[in-house]
Amino acid sequence: KGTCFTLYFPITKEQPTDPHLLAPSMLTCRGQGERILVVEDQKNQREIARRLLARLGYEVHSVASGEEAVEFIKQHQVDLILLDMVMEPGINGCETYQRIVEHSPDQKAIIVSGYSSTNDIEQARKLGIHHFIKKPYSIKDISQALRLEFS
């Protein structure tokens, strides 16, 4: 008993063209070694974000909770925090960011979440977070948000 899936993948004999010609907009979204801290309670999501950001050219660190993020920032400087809004157990994304800016007032952050309410997003904006990415996100979504935040 169960489900059977059949997947079909297109195959081509053509060689891929120069990636610089295919996606110039993606090239402008690549990182230049900026340091990013990923704060995500779900291990698999944290690892996906870490790999994706490293592939885009960022130096990536990751922690599993808001409390760990606050302690990390007290000892390390990062250019941006990619912060999950809903983390359990422990403090949420807004509380985490509020504690971080007490130590690093100019810290940039982007909120990432699949569950956030309008009130959560409004609270994040009041704290100074300007970008929000809804899960699941694509490499394009995240790279564009990062470039906007860094510009």
Domain residue limits, the chain: 31-150
Residue 97 contacts residue 76 (beta carbons within 8 Å): no
- Determine the Cα–Cα distance for residues 6 and 15; give it in Å rounded to an integer: 26
Strand partners of residue 84: 112
Across residues 63-71, what is the average pLDDT?
98
Of 108 and 151, more confident: 108
What's the pLDDT score for residue 121? 79
pTM for the model:
0.79
pLDDT score of 125: 86
The residue among 113, 60, 61 whose CA lies nearest residue 84 is 113
CATH (residue range 31-150): 3.40.50.2300
Number of Cβ within a 10 Å radius of residue 92? 21
Residue 19 has what pLDDT? 43
Q: Model confidence at 16, in pLDDT bands (50, 70, 90)?
A: very low
